[in-house]
Amino acid sequence: MRTTGVVRRIDDLGRIVIPKEMRRTLRIHDGESLEIFVEDEMIALKKYSSISDLNDVADDLVNAINPIISKEVLITDRDKVISSSGVLKNIYMNKTISKFLEQKLNNREIVVEKNIEEVEFIDNHKEKCSYTLSPIIMNGDVIGMVVIFSLKEHINDTDVKMANLTSNFLGKHIEE
């Protein structure tokens, strides 16, 4: 574990402030949850992702959807791609989502781009594709996104419905 040289005091309510630069670097936003672990004599904090508990379900979904619609399918949490299918699977798995996707998540936007456009779903990797984005919402909070895209074909209404169905299913599945 690397040291930062930052020392903080615990207040009388047991709170500690995580420096803004660290929060920015780790993409920790106001209101997000952190997991607290104890390892030996250390307290460790990790961003909590409720959707990452569903990796197996997400993998099953993308692997079921891909052969039916013949398009790339990604499922993200608020930070990275947690499940991917299609020929580009290895490029996207566990990669950090782009500022573009982060903005769409924050705006809770359903996006449909039927024309082939250049877009960046993960940091430092652009694709020329047609795509649809559907946020995954659990208890009113956006926790991730379903991305369906194609490098060759235009996104159609079935693809949009599939993305919305998948995001709704995941949101409801996590709530239970």
3-class secondary-structure state, position 130: strand
* Per-residue model confidence (pLDDT) at position 75: 96
Residue ending a domain, among 48, 70, 87, is 48
43 shares its domain with 123 = no
Kindly report the number of other CB atoms within 10 A of residue 12's CB atom: 5
41 shares its domain with 121 = no
CATH code for the domain in which residue 30 is found = 2.10.260.10
- Give the long-range contacts of residues 110-115, CB within 8 A, separation 24 or more: 110/134, 110/135, 110/164, 112/155, 112/160, 113/155, 114/154, 114/155, 114/156, 115/154
Q: Residue 160 pLDDT more than 80? A: yes
Total number of domains in the chain:
2
* Per-residue model confidence (pLDDT) at position 21: 86
3-class secondary-structure state, position 17: coil
pLDDT digits (tens, 9 = 90+) for 96-152: 999 999 999 999 989 999 999 999 999 999 999 999 999 999 888 899 999 999 999
145 shares its domain with 66 = yes
Which residues constitute the domain of residue 124?
51-175
Q: Residue 166 pLDDT more than 80? A: yes
57 shares its domain with 117 = yes
81 shares its domain with 33 = no
68 shares its domain with 124 = yes
3-class secondary-structure state, position 62: helix
CATH code for the domain in which residue 82 is found = 3.30.450.40
94 shares its domain with 148 = yes
pLDDT digits (tens, 9 = 90+) for 45-86: 877 766 666 778 888 999 999 999 999 999 999 899 999 998
Kindly report the number of other CB atoms within 10 A of residue 151's CB atom: 15
